[in-house]
Amino acid sequence: MHDDHSGPDASAVLRDAGLRVTESRRAVLGALAARPHSSVDELFPLVVERMPGASRQSVYNALGDFTDAGIARRIEPAGRAGMYELRVGDNHHHLVCSRCGAVEDVDCVVGEAPCLTPSHSRGFTVASAEVTFWGVCPACAGAPVT
Amino acid sequence: MHDDHSGPDASAVLRDAGLRVTESRRAVLGALAARPHSSVDELFPLVVERMPGASRQSVYNALGDFTDAGIARRIEPAGRAGMYELRVGDNHHHLVCSRCGAVEDVDCVVGEAPCLTPSHSRGFTVASAEVTFWGVCPACAGAPVT
DNA sequence: CTCTTCTTTTGATCTGATCAAAAAAGGGTT
DNA sequence: AACCCTTTTTTGATCAGATCAAAAGAAGAG
């Protein structure tokens, strides 16, 4: 089994990223692997399930550390809490359901970052292009409008 | 003079949008016309300058009403406060300076919304594609790194 | 001018996130 | 295995941006 961030392999991921291996971080990494595109509030219960004493702050800490270390990425669709994912290094984009907030990955529209070039960059040195597709997911489209 | 949202013309814009014409809304509209891509905190001082008794809440109210009425658009780059602009109806995008937060408009990459189509939409009904180009503006590039 | 409706003000409240100090744990060294 | 220094976790305060709600005030139709 490869890339099982919840198993013993999680330790290696952390160590390789230059982070100390702690039960807290292993729990957050495992939770994030199980539920990509989750916010702190969504991850916290999963972490607590495995580590009853965990604090919400430790989840914030771990996710911040993961992001700084380059093993996680934070996205923040307008009007939503920050969400994290372990898929990094490929400049992919997201599809967000404007009703329920569900998020799906979308491969990069063109190629590598910045995958798009603005028509006129006004002197800016463009580093990346972040694309968010807004729409309605299948589940919400089928469900009656509340 | 056309599109001078701060002058007597502002009243027409509001009326046409189905909103009551109030001094507060005229002041917010004028401030936003003068400084596009501004947050409530940036707009509030300008509004107060013209209307000493104004409250911050009235700026939130006006901007929310403008957005609902379709005469303003709200953008929210990750990690920044919400910003508003009067340029609506054309699906344009933004260039954001990751150092100072400066925002510039960028014409739509392709044409009309959704100006891009995800490689696979996973069953979503895609309504729009929001593109944010992150980079460093000329001023920040020239200035010493703080 | 009056009356109804919408808007503004005031002040409380909320969420998501950050900061800081003390306590606890990691992990290299001996 | 014991030690020690450093990093991490906890706890609890604090912050920013935004929203909610009730009372007071203004818009504008008739």
> Residues 20-39 of chain A: which lie with beta carbon within 7 Å of strand D?
20, 22, 24-25
- Residue A1: pLDDT band with limits 50, 70, 90: very low
Q: What is the pTM of this model?
A: 0.91
For residue B76, say whether its CB is under 7 Å from any atom of strand D. Answer: yes
Distance (Å) from the alpha carbon of A41 to chain B's nearest alpha carbon = 18
What pLDDT was estimated at residue A146? Answer: 46
Gap between the Cα atoms of B58 and A38, Å rounded:
34
What pLDDT was estimated at residue A115? Answer: 62
Cis, bond preceding A114 (omega within 30 deg of 0)? yes
| Residue B90 in contact with partner chain A when CB distance is under 8 A | no
Nearest by CB to residue B135, choosing from A97, A125, A141, is A125
Gap between the Cα atoms of A66 and A122, Å rounded:
33
Mean model confidence pLDDT for chain B? 90
3-state secondary structure of A61: helix
What pLDDT was estimated at residue A26? Answer: 97
- Residue A61: pLDDT band with limits 50, 70, 90: very high
- Residue B102: pLDDT band with limits 50, 70, 90: very high
Mean model confidence pLDDT for chain A? 90
What pLDDT was estimated at residue A111? Answer: 47
Least confident of A113-117, B18-22, B44-48, B90-94: A113-117
Gap between the Cα atoms of B132 and B78, Å rounded:
10
Helices (H), chain A: 9-16, 23-34, 40-50, 56-69, 138-142
Chain A residue nearest residue B79, CA to CA: A76
Q: How far is CA B70 from CA B63, B64, B97, in A?
A: 10, 10, 27
